[in-house]
Amino acid sequence: MKEKIIELSKQIRQFDPQNKQQLEEFKIKFLSKKGMIPSLFQEFKQVPPEERKTIGILLNELKQLAHEHLEASALKFEEIVSQTVQIDTSLPAASITGGRHPISIVSRDINTIFERLGFVIAEGPEIEDDFHNFTALNFPEEHPARDMQDTFFIAKSPDIALRTHTSSVQVRVMEQSQPPIRIIAPGRVFRNEAISARAHCIFHQVEGLYIDKDVSFADLKQTLFYFAREFFGTNTKIRFRPSYFPFTETSAEMDVSCNICGGKGCTVCKYSGWVEILGCGMVDPNVLEACNINPEIYSGYAFGMGIERIAMMKYQINDLRLFFENDMRFLSQFSSLV
Protein backbone atom coordinates (compact mmCIF):
# COMPACT_ATOMS: atom_id res chain seq x y z
CA MET A 1 0.00 0.00 0.00
CA LYS A 2 2.77 2.38 0.98
CA GLU A 3 4.63 1.69 -2.28
CA LYS A 4 1.44 2.29 -4.25
CA ILE A 5 0.96 5.65 -2.55
CA ILE A 6 4.55 6.69 -3.24
CA GLU A 7 4.25 5.59 -6.88
CA LEU A 8 1.00 7.52 -7.36
CA SER A 9 2.37 10.68 -5.75
CA LYS A 10 5.27 10.47 -8.21
CA GLN A 11 2.85 10.18 -11.11
CA ILE A 12 0.82 13.09 -9.83
CA ARG A 13 3.87 15.31 -9.47
CA GLN A 14 5.00 14.50 -13.00
CA PHE A 15 1.64 15.25 -14.46
CA ASP A 16 1.85 18.28 -16.79
CA PRO A 17 -1.37 18.70 -18.78
CA GLN A 18 -1.16 20.36 -22.21
CA ASN A 19 -4.84 20.97 -22.65
CA LYS A 20 -8.18 20.84 -20.89
CA GLN A 21 -8.81 17.29 -22.03
CA GLN A 22 -5.68 16.00 -20.29
CA LEU A 23 -6.77 17.85 -17.20
CA GLU A 24 -10.10 16.03 -17.34
CA GLU A 25 -8.37 12.70 -17.86
CA PHE A 26 -6.26 13.35 -14.76
CA LYS A 27 -9.37 14.04 -12.73
CA ILE A 28 -11.01 10.83 -13.88
CA LYS A 29 -7.90 8.72 -13.39
CA PHE A 30 -7.11 9.86 -9.85
CA LEU A 31 -10.07 11.52 -8.24
CA SER A 32 -13.33 10.29 -9.77
CA LYS A 33 -15.40 7.78 -7.79
CA LYS A 34 -13.71 4.85 -9.44
CA GLY A 35 -10.39 6.66 -9.70
CA MET A 36 -7.16 5.44 -8.14
CA ILE A 37 -7.26 7.48 -4.96
CA PRO A 38 -10.84 6.58 -3.95
CA SER A 39 -10.00 2.90 -4.64
CA LEU A 40 -7.02 3.20 -2.30
CA PHE A 41 -9.42 4.43 0.35
CA GLN A 42 -11.42 1.27 -0.30
CA GLU A 43 -8.28 -0.82 0.12
CA PHE A 44 -7.46 1.12 3.28
CA LYS A 45 -10.22 -0.81 5.02
CA GLN A 46 -8.03 -3.93 4.80
CA VAL A 47 -4.95 -2.29 6.24
CA PRO A 48 -3.94 -3.86 9.56
CA PRO A 49 -4.68 -1.59 12.57
CA GLU A 50 -0.99 -1.07 13.47
CA GLU A 51 -0.26 0.47 10.02
CA ARG A 52 -3.45 2.47 9.78
CA LYS A 53 -2.12 5.63 11.31
CA THR A 54 0.90 6.08 8.98
CA ILE A 55 -0.89 4.83 5.89
CA GLY A 56 -3.91 7.01 6.71
CA ILE A 57 -1.75 10.10 6.91
CA LEU A 58 0.01 9.23 3.64
CA LEU A 59 -3.27 8.55 1.91
CA ASN A 60 -4.76 11.87 2.96
CA GLU A 61 -1.61 13.66 1.87
CA LEU A 62 -1.87 11.94 -1.52
CA LYS A 63 -5.47 13.03 -1.92
CA GLN A 64 -4.56 16.58 -1.03
CA LEU A 65 -1.60 16.52 -3.39
CA ALA A 66 -3.83 15.39 -6.26
CA HIS A 67 -6.34 18.17 -5.57
CA GLU A 68 -3.68 20.83 -5.25
CA HIS A 69 -1.90 19.66 -8.36
CA LEU A 70 -5.15 19.63 -10.31
CA GLU A 71 -5.98 23.16 -9.23
CA ALA A 72 -2.48 24.46 -9.95
CA SER A 73 -2.48 22.83 -13.37
CA ALA A 74 -5.90 24.22 -14.19
CA LEU A 75 -4.77 27.68 -13.15
CA LYS A 76 -1.59 27.47 -15.17
CA PHE A 77 -3.61 26.20 -18.07
CA GLU A 78 -6.05 29.13 -17.82
CA GLU A 79 -3.08 31.49 -17.95
CA ILE A 80 -1.72 29.80 -21.02
CA VAL A 81 -5.10 30.08 -22.66
CA SER A 82 -5.47 33.78 -22.00
CA GLN A 83 -1.91 34.50 -23.08
CA THR A 84 -2.45 32.54 -26.24
CA VAL A 85 -5.48 34.62 -27.08
CA GLN A 86 -3.46 37.79 -26.78
CA ILE A 87 -0.35 36.86 -28.68
CA ASP A 88 -1.25 33.97 -30.93
CA THR A 89 0.82 34.88 -33.96
CA SER A 90 -0.50 31.89 -35.86
CA LEU A 91 -3.99 33.37 -36.10
CA PRO A 92 -4.86 34.69 -39.55
CA ALA A 93 -4.77 38.48 -39.75
CA ALA A 94 -8.09 40.25 -39.48
CA SER A 95 -9.07 41.16 -42.99
CA ILE A 96 -8.86 44.88 -43.74
CA THR A 97 -11.98 46.19 -45.33
CA GLY A 98 -12.84 49.61 -46.62
CA GLY A 99 -10.70 52.38 -47.95
CA ARG A 100 -10.02 56.01 -47.41
CA HIS A 101 -12.61 58.65 -48.03
CA PRO A 102 -11.95 60.52 -51.30
CA ILE A 103 -11.55 63.77 -49.34
CA SER A 104 -8.84 62.15 -47.22
CA ILE A 105 -7.09 60.84 -50.31
CA VAL A 106 -7.08 64.24 -52.03
CA SER A 107 -6.12 66.08 -48.85
CA ARG A 108 -3.21 63.72 -48.28
CA ASP A 109 -2.04 64.07 -51.90
CA ILE A 110 -2.11 67.87 -51.65
CA ASN A 111 -0.25 67.81 -48.34
CA THR A 112 2.53 65.56 -49.61
CA ILE A 113 3.20 67.80 -52.60
CA PHE A 114 3.64 70.84 -50.36
CA GLU A 115 5.59 68.85 -47.79
CA ARG A 116 8.12 68.08 -50.52
CA LEU A 117 8.57 71.86 -50.85
CA GLY A 118 9.30 72.20 -47.16
CA PHE A 119 5.84 73.16 -45.90
CA VAL A 120 4.86 71.68 -42.55
CA ILE A 121 1.34 70.74 -41.47
CA ALA A 122 -0.37 73.09 -39.00
CA GLU A 123 -3.70 72.75 -37.25
CA GLY A 124 -6.13 75.06 -35.54
CA PRO A 125 -9.50 74.79 -33.78
CA GLU A 126 -12.76 74.43 -35.68
CA ILE A 127 -14.50 76.59 -33.09
CA GLU A 128 -12.92 80.01 -33.48
CA ASP A 129 -13.19 83.47 -32.02
CA ASP A 130 -13.88 86.57 -34.07
CA PHE A 131 -10.29 87.77 -33.82
CA HIS A 132 -8.73 84.72 -35.48
CA ASN A 133 -11.43 84.19 -38.09
CA PHE A 134 -12.04 87.83 -39.05
CA THR A 135 -10.46 90.75 -37.20
CA ALA A 136 -6.80 89.74 -37.45
CA LEU A 137 -7.43 88.92 -41.10
CA ASN A 138 -8.31 92.52 -41.78
CA PHE A 139 -12.07 92.11 -41.96
CA PRO A 140 -13.15 95.52 -40.65
CA GLU A 141 -15.87 95.61 -37.98
CA GLU A 142 -19.33 95.86 -39.59
CA HIS A 143 -17.77 95.73 -43.02
CA PRO A 144 -19.75 93.90 -45.70
CA ALA A 145 -16.69 91.74 -46.30
CA ARG A 146 -17.83 89.70 -43.30
CA ASP A 147 -20.93 88.80 -45.26
CA MET A 148 -18.77 87.11 -47.85
CA GLN A 149 -18.73 84.17 -45.54
CA ASP A 150 -22.04 83.32 -43.94
CA THR A 151 -21.12 82.34 -40.47
CA PHE A 152 -22.51 79.88 -37.93
CA PHE A 153 -22.23 81.82 -34.69
CA ILE A 154 -22.14 79.85 -31.46
CA ALA A 155 -22.01 82.75 -29.00
CA LYS A 156 -22.24 86.52 -29.14
CA SER A 157 -19.89 89.02 -27.44
CA PRO A 158 -17.35 87.73 -27.50
CA ASP A 159 -18.23 86.28 -30.88
CA ILE A 160 -17.48 82.59 -31.13
CA ALA A 161 -18.18 80.82 -34.40
CA LEU A 162 -17.41 77.76 -36.44
CA ARG A 163 -14.47 78.82 -38.57
CA THR A 164 -15.51 79.86 -42.05
CA HIS A 165 -12.09 79.23 -43.56
CA THR A 166 -8.71 77.75 -42.65
CA SER A 167 -7.15 81.23 -42.88
CA SER A 168 -7.69 81.38 -39.11
CA VAL A 169 -4.82 78.89 -38.79
CA GLN A 170 -2.52 81.43 -40.48
CA VAL A 171 -3.21 83.84 -37.66
CA ARG A 172 -2.62 81.27 -34.95
CA VAL A 173 0.70 80.19 -36.47
CA MET A 174 1.94 83.76 -37.02
CA GLU A 175 1.01 84.69 -33.45
CA GLN A 176 3.13 81.88 -32.11
CA SER A 177 6.19 82.05 -34.33
CA GLN A 178 8.43 84.40 -36.21
CA PRO A 179 9.44 83.94 -39.89
CA PRO A 180 10.49 82.00 -41.78
CA ILE A 181 7.05 80.38 -41.67
CA ARG A 182 6.02 77.77 -44.21
CA ILE A 183 2.84 75.91 -43.30
CA ILE A 184 0.02 74.02 -44.88
CA ALA A 185 -3.21 73.77 -42.88
CA PRO A 186 -5.86 71.26 -43.97
CA GLY A 187 -9.18 71.14 -42.16
CA ARG A 188 -12.95 71.41 -42.00
CA VAL A 189 -14.72 74.72 -42.44
CA PHE A 190 -18.36 75.70 -42.01
CA ARG A 191 -20.65 78.18 -43.73
CA ASN A 192 -24.31 78.88 -43.30
CA GLU A 193 -25.24 78.09 -46.87
CA ALA A 194 -28.07 76.30 -48.57
CA ILE A 195 -26.98 72.77 -49.44
CA SER A 196 -26.89 72.01 -53.14
CA ALA A 197 -24.86 70.03 -55.67
CA ARG A 198 -22.24 72.77 -55.65
CA ALA A 199 -22.32 74.08 -52.06
CA HIS A 200 -22.49 72.61 -48.58
CA CYS A 201 -22.53 74.02 -45.07
CA ILE A 202 -19.47 71.94 -44.24
CA PHE A 203 -16.47 71.40 -46.47
CA HIS A 204 -12.69 71.13 -46.38
CA GLN A 205 -9.94 73.55 -47.25
CA VAL A 206 -6.17 73.52 -47.37
CA GLU A 207 -4.48 76.76 -46.44
CA GLY A 208 -0.91 77.62 -47.38
CA LEU A 209 1.23 80.36 -45.85
CA TYR A 210 4.79 81.39 -46.53
CA ILE A 211 6.37 84.35 -44.71
CA ASP A 212 10.01 85.34 -45.01
CA LYS A 213 12.21 88.19 -46.22
CA ASP A 214 11.71 89.15 -49.88
CA VAL A 215 8.84 86.79 -50.68
CA SER A 216 7.18 87.95 -53.90
CA PHE A 217 4.19 87.17 -56.07
CA ALA A 218 6.58 85.34 -58.41
CA ASP A 219 7.32 82.87 -55.58
CA LEU A 220 3.60 82.32 -55.12
CA LYS A 221 3.05 81.71 -58.83
CA GLN A 222 5.92 79.28 -59.13
CA THR A 223 4.88 77.33 -56.03
CA LEU A 224 1.28 76.99 -57.24
CA PHE A 225 2.42 76.13 -60.76
CA TYR A 226 4.55 73.32 -59.32
CA PHE A 227 1.60 72.12 -57.25
CA ALA A 228 -0.79 72.16 -60.25
CA ARG A 229 1.58 70.14 -62.42
CA GLU A 230 2.30 67.63 -59.65
CA PHE A 231 -1.36 67.16 -58.81
CA PHE A 232 -3.13 67.41 -62.17
CA GLY A 233 -0.34 66.35 -64.54
CA THR A 234 2.63 67.92 -66.31
CA ASN A 235 0.58 69.41 -69.16
CA THR A 236 -1.50 71.49 -66.76
CA LYS A 237 -1.55 75.24 -67.36
CA ILE A 238 -2.48 77.84 -64.76
CA ARG A 239 -3.86 81.36 -64.97
CA PHE A 240 -4.47 84.07 -62.40
CA ARG A 241 -7.43 86.44 -62.30
CA PRO A 242 -7.50 89.51 -60.08
CA SER A 243 -9.73 89.06 -57.05
CA TYR A 244 -10.39 90.45 -53.59
CA PHE A 245 -9.81 89.07 -50.11
CA PRO A 246 -9.52 91.35 -47.07
CA PHE A 247 -6.37 89.55 -45.90
CA THR A 248 -4.35 89.62 -49.12
CA GLU A 249 -3.17 92.47 -51.29
CA THR A 250 -2.64 91.73 -54.21
CA SER A 251 -5.35 89.07 -54.38
CA ALA A 252 -6.01 86.56 -57.12
CA GLU A 253 -7.94 83.46 -58.02
CA MET A 254 -6.17 80.68 -59.80
CA ASP A 255 -7.62 78.50 -62.54
CA VAL A 256 -6.10 75.32 -63.90
CA SER A 257 -6.62 74.07 -67.42
CA CYS A 258 -9.38 71.47 -67.35
CA ASN A 259 -7.72 68.09 -67.07
CA ILE A 260 -10.90 66.30 -68.08
CA CYS A 261 -11.09 67.69 -71.62
CA GLY A 262 -7.52 69.00 -71.83
CA GLY A 263 -8.85 72.55 -72.25
CA LYS A 264 -11.11 71.78 -75.23
CA GLY A 265 -14.29 72.37 -73.26
CA CYS A 266 -16.60 70.01 -71.33
CA THR A 267 -19.31 70.08 -68.66
CA VAL A 268 -16.75 70.10 -65.82
CA CYS A 269 -15.17 73.35 -67.03
CA LYS A 270 -18.49 74.58 -68.40
CA TYR A 271 -16.92 74.70 -71.86
CA SER A 272 -14.40 77.34 -70.79
CA GLY A 273 -11.37 75.06 -70.66
CA TRP A 274 -10.52 76.38 -67.17
CA VAL A 275 -11.51 75.41 -63.63
CA GLU A 276 -11.12 77.73 -60.66
CA ILE A 277 -9.36 75.95 -57.82
CA LEU A 278 -8.08 78.48 -55.30
CA GLY A 279 -7.83 81.96 -53.87
CA CYS A 280 -4.46 83.47 -53.10
CA GLY A 281 -2.43 86.63 -52.70
CA MET A 282 0.29 88.49 -50.86
CA VAL A 283 -0.45 88.66 -47.13
CA ASP A 284 -1.80 92.13 -46.32
CA PRO A 285 0.64 94.12 -44.11
CA ASN A 286 -2.24 94.75 -41.69
CA VAL A 287 -2.47 90.99 -41.09
CA LEU A 288 1.24 90.71 -40.39
CA GLU A 289 1.00 93.59 -37.95
CA ALA A 290 -2.02 92.08 -36.17
CA CYS A 291 0.09 88.97 -35.64
CA ASN A 292 3.18 90.82 -34.40
CA ILE A 293 5.25 90.32 -37.54
CA ASN A 294 7.02 93.40 -38.85
CA PRO A 295 5.75 94.11 -42.41
CA GLU A 296 8.76 96.38 -43.01
CA ILE A 297 11.02 93.34 -42.79
CA TYR A 298 8.83 90.46 -43.87
CA SER A 299 6.41 89.69 -46.65
CA GLY A 300 4.58 86.55 -47.61
CA TYR A 301 1.94 84.84 -49.62
CA ALA A 302 -1.10 82.78 -48.73
CA PHE A 303 -3.48 80.55 -50.63
CA GLY A 304 -6.54 78.53 -49.82
CA MET A 305 -8.28 75.83 -51.81
CA GLY A 306 -11.43 73.80 -51.39
CA ILE A 307 -10.66 70.09 -51.23
CA GLU A 308 -14.13 68.99 -52.39
CA ARG A 309 -13.83 71.07 -55.52
CA ILE A 310 -10.48 69.50 -56.37
CA ALA A 311 -11.77 66.02 -55.58
CA MET A 312 -14.81 66.66 -57.81
CA MET A 313 -12.49 67.55 -60.63
CA LYS A 314 -10.10 64.69 -60.03
CA TYR A 315 -12.81 62.02 -59.85
CA GLN A 316 -15.38 63.75 -62.08
CA ILE A 317 -17.98 63.91 -59.33
CA ASN A 318 -20.83 66.26 -60.11
CA ASP A 319 -22.59 66.45 -56.75
CA LEU A 320 -20.77 67.70 -53.65
CA ARG A 321 -23.35 66.18 -51.32
CA LEU A 322 -22.03 62.70 -52.13
CA PHE A 323 -18.97 63.38 -49.96
CA PHE A 324 -21.10 63.70 -46.85
CA GLU A 325 -23.75 61.03 -47.28
CA ASN A 326 -21.56 58.00 -46.56
CA ASP A 327 -23.32 55.96 -49.21
CA MET A 328 -21.31 52.75 -49.51
CA ARG A 329 -22.03 52.53 -53.24
CA PHE A 330 -20.16 55.81 -53.62
CA LEU A 331 -17.40 55.25 -51.07
CA SER A 332 -16.51 51.73 -52.16
CA GLN A 333 -15.27 53.12 -55.46
CA PHE A 334 -12.31 54.61 -53.63
CA SER A 335 -10.18 51.71 -52.55
CA SER A 336 -6.92 53.38 -51.55
CA LEU A 337 -5.72 51.83 -48.29
CA VAL A 338 -2.61 53.98 -47.99
Name the site residues for ligand PHE (rule: CB under 6 A).
165, 167, 207, 245, 248, 279-281, 302-304
Cα–Cα distances in angstroms (integers) from residue 61 to residues 4, 220, 313, in the given order: 13, 89, 83
| C-beta of 138 vs 257, nearer to ligand PHE | 138
- Nearest approach in angstroms of CB 213 to ligand PHE is 20
Q: Report strand pairing: 120-121 vs 181-190.
A: parallel
- Residue closest to ligand PHE, measured at CB: 304
DSSP state of 148: G
The total of other beta-carbon atoms located within 10 Å of residue 92's CB is 5
Q: What angle do CA 198, 276, 298 make, to 5 degrees?
A: 120
- E strands, the chain, in order: 120-121, 127-129, 153-155, 160-162, 181-190, 202-212, 238-242, 248-257, 274-283, 299-306
**CA separation for the pair 210, 60 (Å, rounded):** 86
| C-beta of 167 vs 299, nearer to ligand PHE | 167
| C-beta of 187 vs 281, nearer to ligand PHE | 281
HEC profile of 167-184: HHHHHHHHHHCCCCEEEE
| C-beta of 167 vs 236, nearer to ligand PHE | 167
- Nearest approach in angstroms of CB 203 to ligand PHE is 10
| C-beta of 138 vs 167, nearer to ligand PHE | 167
- Nearest approach in angstroms of CB 184 to ligand PHE is 12
- Nearest approach in angstroms of CB 318 to ligand PHE is 22
Q: What angle do CA 294, 249, 298 make, to 5 degrees?
A: 20
| C-beta of 168 vs 259, nearer to ligand PHE | 168
| C-beta of 185 vs 269, nearer to ligand PHE | 185
Strand partners, 183: 120, 209
- Nearest approach in angstroms of CB 254 to ligand PHE is 10
- Nearest approach in angstroms of CB 301 to ligand PHE is 8
- Nearest approach in angstroms of CB 287 to ligand PHE is 10
